Amino acid sequence: MLEVADIASPTVSPDGRSVAFRMERASVARNTYDTAWYVQGLGDPSPRRVADGGVPLRDSAGESLPPKVVWSPDSRWIFYRALVDGKIAVWRAAADGSSAQPITHDAADVRDFTLGDNGRVLRYSVGATREQVRVAERAEYDQGIHIDESVPIGQGLFRSGFVGGRMATQRFSKVWFDRLPLLADVPDRWTEIDLATGEGKTIEASAISSAPLPTPGKAGVDGDAWKSVREPHGNRVAWLTRTGDRGDQQQRPDVLLSALPRAHASRAVRCLSALCTGKAITAIQWRPGHDEALFTVTDPRRGLAQSILQWNVQTGDVHEVVSGGGLINGGRDPSWNCGVSAEALVCVTATADRPPRVESVDLESGKRRVLFDPNAALARDMSAVAPARLLQWQDKQGQWFSGQFYSARRGSDRPTPLFVTYYSCPGFVRGGVGDEWPLASLAQAGISALCINRRPGYTMDAVKRYGQGMAAVEGAVDRLARDGEIDRARVGMGGLSFGAEVTMWTLTNSHLLAAASVATPVLSPFYYVIGSIKGKAFRKGLRNLWGLGSPAETPQRWRALSPTFQLERIRAPVLFQHAEQEYMYALDYEIPLIREHRADLYVFPNEPHQKFQPRHKLAVYNRNLDWFRFWLQGYEDDDPAKAEQYVRWRAMRERLKSARSR
C-alpha cells in the first residue's frame, strides 16, 4: 500500500500520437521516492521509460507538487524540471528514450520555465543561488536568529525542513502557516537559452509574459472569479465562477461555466444545459482545434466520483464523454486535468479500491482503453481482500453524506469494530487525508473502516462545522449498526488537519468513540501563543475561521472549541502522532493527558503538516493498526520490538477502567 505507484501530469504530444507522464513510488528501504518519466504511443501496448524524474518536489505542507512537462512542437522531446544531485534544473529527454540531459546549469534552482520561438529557445527563471541561501542560513546561525513575525517558532529554526530536497531554514509565507526558504523573496531572474547552440542570455520578465486573460466581469459573466483557461493557439477563454447566496459559507455554493464563443467576442455565453448547472464542476480545459470546452464534475453524492463532459460553445450542446466510480483526471488531486488532444483524453484513473493507472478515452465514442497499469497486482489483492463500496446516508437533520466503506473479514456472525476517518476520500484511498490509517489493512485485520467525505463548502461557524462532522459520524454508525455490520460500542476515529479537529470534537462532545488517533494539533492557548507571532494575519484568520480573539478576549468561545478546557470530557484513549514542525502547538492539552496515562505521543523529526518520509509513514501505519487492534479487539502483536508500547497501553487501559468505575 505504501509503495503504490502514483502517476501524474499525463500530457499529450502536439501531434496527438503520444503521451508523457511521470510515475512516483516510495522506497521504504532507502527512505526516499523514485520517479521516472514515461512516453507511450496511444496505440502502443506499453510505455517507454525515457528519463529519471529526480526527487519529487513538495509544497511546505508535504504534498507532492504536480510535475510540469512541456513537449517540443515536433513531438520529439519532453522538457521538465527535476531535482537531481541537489540541483533543480530543466531537463530534456528524447521521446524515443535515447537520451536525457540537463539543459540549464545555473547556480540557482529553476523556479519555472517555458519554450519560445516555436520551440527554438528555452526560457527559465531563478532566484537566489544555492550558495547565497546557504551563506544566509549559516550567517544567522552564527549571529543568532532574530525572532520576528516571519520565523516559524515551534520547530527547529536552523535547517529543520525539507526544501528543494535538502534540509533548509524556513520562514512563514503570507499564507497562513505555509513556509518558504530563506531569500525566497529574491525577484525572478530570467534567462533564455538557444537550444541549437546552447548560448544563453539574460532577458526581462516582460519578454515571456503572455497577454492577461480578460476578467469574467468584463465579459458579462456573473459571480466570483475562480478558474479560467485560454484556448490553445487561440483567444477564446472559458471561466468557472462561483455564484449563489454565500450564507454561512466561506465561498458562494454554485459554479457557473461560461466562455467566449468566438476568438474576438467580447461577451461570454453561459452553459445552460441541465448537465452543467447545479453541478460540482471542478476543472475545465479546451479541446484543441474544436469549439468544445471540456469540464469535470466531481460529484460529492457519489463519493467524489468524476465525470468529464463536452460543451460546444457555439451550439450550446452538452454531452457526457466519460464517467466512473472514482477519479478520472491528471493525478491524486481531483482538480488536475487529463491530457487532451483533438481526438482523445489521457487520464489517470483510480477508485477507492483500485490504485492509479493510465487510460485513454475517445472523445467521440467515450471508449476507454487501459494504457499502463503499474499497480495491477495491488488492484487484484485489494479486490480479493478489502473491496470498498460507496456508502450514502443522512444524518438526523436530513443532511446527506457519502464515504468509502471497507467491510471487515468476519470470523463469526458478531458485528465488527469500526474505524472512521473524516475529511476527503477521492480516488484510491490509502488512509484518509494524510494517508495515516491503513483502511484496507484494518479491514483485513477484522476492523471495518469508513472514510467519510465532508459536505461541500466550508461553514464559517466552527461549532456548526464540527457539528456537521460529528453528525456524519453518528449517522454512519447508526446506519451500519442498524444493518448489523458494526458494533457501536467499538468505534475508533482518526484524522489530520480538519479531520483532526472533528475527531477531537467528537471525543469531547459525544460518547461515540472507544479510541482515537490524531495526526495534527488543534486549537489551544499554546497554538494561539505560538501562532500570534505572525501578528495581524494570524489574528484575522482566527477571528474569521473560528470566531476567536485571544483567550482573554473570547474566553467562552475558547472553552467551547479547545480541548484544553475540556480534558475531563475526553473519555477514550488518544494516540497522537505529530510532525516535528507542529507538535508544540498541542502540548498544553497533550501533556496533561500523557501524565494521566490517557494518551500516547510520538513526534516525527523534520516532518511538515503531512508526513512524507516513507519510513515515517510506515511507522505511522503500523502503530495506528496496532493501536486500534489493541483498543477495539484486545489484540497484541507478539513482536518483541513492540513490547514497550503494550506496557504503556495496558497501563492506560487499567487507568481508564479505574476512572470509569469511580
Yes or no: say if 580 and 605 are a contact pair by the CB < 8 Å rule.
Answer: yes
Q: pLDDT value at position 169? A: 97
The band of 297, judged by pLDDT with boundaries at 50, 70 and 90, is: very high
Average pLDDT of every residue of the chain: 96
Q: What integer is the mean pLDDT of 258-267?
A: 92
The band of 659, judged by pLDDT with boundaries at 50, 70 and 90, is: confident
Give the pLDDT confidence of 343-383 residue by residue, as tens digits.
Answer: 999 999 999 999 999 999 999 999 999 999 999 999 999 99
What gap in Å lies between CA 455 and CA 423, rounded to an integer? Answer: 9
Yes or no: say if 350 and 329 are a contact pair by the CB < 8 Å rule.
Answer: no
Is residue 534 pLDDT above 80, yes or no?
Answer: yes
Q: Hey, what's the cell of 204?
A: 526581462
Q: What integer is the mean pLDDT of 162-171?
A: 92
What gap in Å lies between CA 70 and CA 164, rounded to an integer? Answer: 21
Is the CA virtual torsion 485, 488, 489, 495 positive or negative? positive
Which domains are assigned to the chain? Answer: 131-181 (no CATH), 213-385 (2.140.10.30), 386-524+562-661 (3.40.50.1820)
Q: pLDDT value at position 208? A: 81
Residues of the chain with pLDDT > 70: what percent?
100
Is residue 5 pLDDT above 90, yes or no?
Answer: yes
The band of 586, judged by pLDDT with boundaries at 50, 70 and 90, is: very high
Is the CA virtual torsion 599, 605, 609, 614 positive or negative? negative
Give the pLDDT confidence of 114-136 residue by residue, as tens digits.
Answer: 999 999 999 999 999 999 999 99
Q: Which residues contact 535 (CB under 8 A, 6 or more apart)?
A: 149
Give the pLDDT confidence of 457-470 residue by residue, as tens digits.
Answer: 999 999 999 999 99
Q: Which of 391, 413, 410, 414 is nearest to 402 (CA)?
A: 391
Q: pLDDT value at position 413? A: 83
User: What are the beta bridge partners of residue 344?
Assistant: 362
Is residue 211 pLDDT above 80, yes or no?
Answer: no
Radius of gyration of the chain (CA): 26
Q: Which of 7, 624, 10, 8 is nearest to 345 (CA)?
A: 10
Q: pLDDT value at position 410? A: 79
Q: pLDDT value at position 252? A: 97
Yes or no: say if 14 and 71 are a contact pair by the CB < 8 Å rule.
Answer: yes
Region for 67 from its dihedrals, namely left if φ exceeds 0, alpha if ψ lies in -120 to 50, beta otherwise: beta
The pTM (predicted TM-score) of the whole model is: 0.96
Is residue 298 pLDDT above 80, yes or no?
Answer: yes
Q: What integer is the mean pLDDT of 530-541?
A: 95
Q: Hey, what's the cell of 184?
A: 525566497
Is residue 661 pLDDT above 80, yes or no?
Answer: no
Region for 261 from its dihedrals, namely left if φ exceeds 0, alpha if ψ lies in -120 to 50, beta otherwise: alpha
- Top pLDDT among 220 and 413 is at 220
Q: pLDDT value at position 3? A: 92
Give the pLDDT confidence of 307-354 residue by residue, as tens digits.
Answer: 999 999 999 999 999 999 999 999 999 999 999 999 999 999 999 999
Is residue 662 pLDDT above 80, yes or no?
Answer: no
Q: pLDDT value at position 588? A: 96
The band of 660, judged by pLDDT with boundaries at 50, 70 and 90, is: confident
The band of 264, judged by pLDDT with boundaries at 50, 70 and 90, is: confident
Q: pLDDT value at position 98? A: 98
Q: What integer is the mean pLDDT of 187-209?
A: 93
Give the pLDDT confidence of 594-650 residue by residue, as tens digits.
Answer: 999 999 999 999 999 999 999 999 999 999 999 999 999 999 999 999 999 999 999
Give the pLDDT confidence of 16-70 residue by residue, as tens digits.
Answer: 999 999 999 999 999 999 999 999 999 999 999 999 999 999 999 999 999 999 9
The band of 427, judged by pLDDT with boundaries at 50, 70 and 90, is: very high
Q: pLDDT value at position 209? A: 73
Is residue 210 pLDDT above 90, yes or no?
Answer: no
Q: pLDDT value at position 243? A: 97
The band of 233, judged by pLDDT with boundaries at 50, 70 and 90, is: confident
Is residue 212 pLDDT above 90, yes or no?
Answer: no
Q: pLDDT value at position 407? A: 96
Q: Which of 29, 22, 77, 79 is nearest to 55 (CA)?
A: 22
Q: pLDDT value at position 295? A: 98
Yes or no: say if 433 and 379 are a contact pair by the CB < 8 Å rule.
Answer: no
What gap in Å lies between CA 607 and CA 135, rounded to an integer? Answer: 24
- Give the rounded distance of the alpha carbon of 192 from its chain centre: 34
Q: What integer is the mean pLDDT of 1-20?
A: 96
What gap in Å lies between CA 323 and CA 118, rounded to an integer? Answer: 36
